Structure 1
């Protein structure tokens, strides 16, 4: 008995010794934890800190709310209540249906798991379940709570450009709606509460006589029964747009919902919108000899439109045909209205240094490719007629993302323009650049802005005034568009590649001789 007791004591002591030697499990790190306070209760979630930014484990938060986060190619998908958000580590924007979720920084992956800023939940949950998210950094609490809904404010603008009356309703928050065609009017019926800015307002417009609010409905009274509308919406800020123009008369009868779906058009380059920079009171840059940018761009664009129509047999639309002011956002809106396949804005460059010279071509980007590109954008964006009532807080970064769909094509178009400008005009190439030009914001097609020459340079101002130089620039731009059109239509399979140049017998090249590749201008 004594022996058995001794053996047990020895075994017990050995076990205690082993336990004492075993490593103690690391306690949870409070710095990497936070509280998720949701309607279902509190839950501890994982957070991370990088470069002064707090990130949240997306899979833990969404799972706690009844959803899931899964891999999707190089990115991730968050699913909740049949609503899906796509996001990745290469962009600070997520996508939910047709809307964008803006985050201060891009998500990151830690141990192959997605971590996102708390603003991701704010944007996603609002659309998925009517919930909102707030982050209490001091208390380390991510709170999920029902969103507080208030009536959306709305402003109305009516403007006529080239016979099209553009009615733009800008709302402080997204809202569901439908549009009904009635005899002599269109009615926009919002399904959520709105704050009307007025009861009734008359308009001096060829297509719109007055607008009036009744409850959550906006009635647009037409001047004639043959006025028809093309309706669509824009995001960030949320806008409902009706483009009204003379068309076929509609017989009286039962009001019909407006079909806002745009017609499906044949692929290829069929319609090109050319934008002469500035106009009216917006004179743009002025050369030392008094030449105004607005006059130079209009003259050049009128020639270019005629050349493109003659050579390419495409429809060409100018955003202005005379010396009038066209707000920046309406220029791309015209391109969208005509379902344009290309948008090209023509400008003349300016610099404090009179010797600055050359041509450069831009496509849209939130960030300028260099300081000079940034300055060029600032000059062109300095319009006294900005992009509508919301221009002061224009969400350029959202259109930067929306343009990602056309980024590659815009780059190809800009490259073709820059190379042909350099090859045909002989003017110095300043390269292809990216910059946040407001006139390119909102374009739903490949778009580029061309700074033809420096109007502030006396020598280049003289060139710009000459018919010969203008025609050379037109030839270069027409060749560039034709080149891009052929390349694009070949790549999508609706055109045959141009025939190869006939081969000729050439003398043999000695083995020691190397051929130098052609120099590619631009960047």
Structure 2
């Protein structure tokens, strides 16, 4: 800093203003010689992100510092550059003018002097400028915004979502915990695919530092998969994983626990062999073909669940007497339910919204359909003009208003479409209003299971299970229900819905119902007993 101030004192008396503010040397002082590159600098690639996509940006490395060519800088930001005979490189950026000294690590921005780590270097007929010139001289006050992320070698132009992500790993008695800090917080999902845990963030790119994850018996490696997924390659067999999130101001702390697989059972005593002795084949005879194993039936269990926190964004939903908003209560419950299902069952759970954003009704069911969900649970808080009304309710759809032909049309065979090379293929074509028709019986069974588990834990309405033509359920191509967790317009119930203990009871009820429904769907004899969270 002292050196920079000394340089400024030497330069300030020599600042001349012509058509632009120029940096010149003090009269009578001997200017330092212009720096040149000896030998050719090494090459490195940064990435430039814009709303139109990404593009590589070649960077030169000399003396341990990074430089960008004047030509690339001009093309990237639409600049006009010219070399001034007084010893400066004049950069015009719209109505702004920046003058870079060719002999000192200094630049003038509209008369304001900023320091650079080194002067430009000449490479043949071209100039290489320190990369810091972008963030110190060009980015301040720029429109569109310019954001330099040196950690990830990114230059972000415009209003793109590029959260900073840091991660660390620590051992657990029964596995490994990986903690991510995401700033600012963005919606995310965690899924297991072929021995990899994928943390998908709703962002345009990631400014990630995964160096503290390291390697462990359960996490062999980590990397960022563009544009915005963190991939953890698992190093060995594991039993399950669980994910939980917690907001801290504008940050999101995501904790992923990867649990060890149980040790193999000790071998028991070897039973006498009952295998028939090998047979011999006569010379010239054809040996019989080996017996092929039977084909495994296609899995029809519950593998993916979509939880739909109602409302969000500009759609606040119902409001309680004390100002509690439905959209906030149901999002909290949905997040807890997702973590509970992932922890207890280890299956894929997705939210239609991970934060306070507006999602259209049809888009919610479409999200579940596109992700091939096996269950769809929409969570809401009820409202009434009478503040005395209380109790939770469970709904499944009725298709009465869509016409009596809906059920029969839903059972009609699909269309026959021509295939490449001749022939035809039957394809199920399901109208939006008919998607739920073929799942009504299973939706009713799911609703009854949820109602039974909730009744054992929380107060229920006199009409605890009902049918209604909810649009959010009509287009769901899987068993689907809507759960009203209570009447937020009742003062006492509003208070309960805000209480962590009550939310925990709701989550436990829904989790128990999912376990029971999953077990019965998959033909498992008896659902496992769930322990209540000690709260």
The alignment's TM-score, normalised by the length of structure 1, stands at 0.39
The alignment's TM-score, normalised by the length of structure 2, stands at 0.38
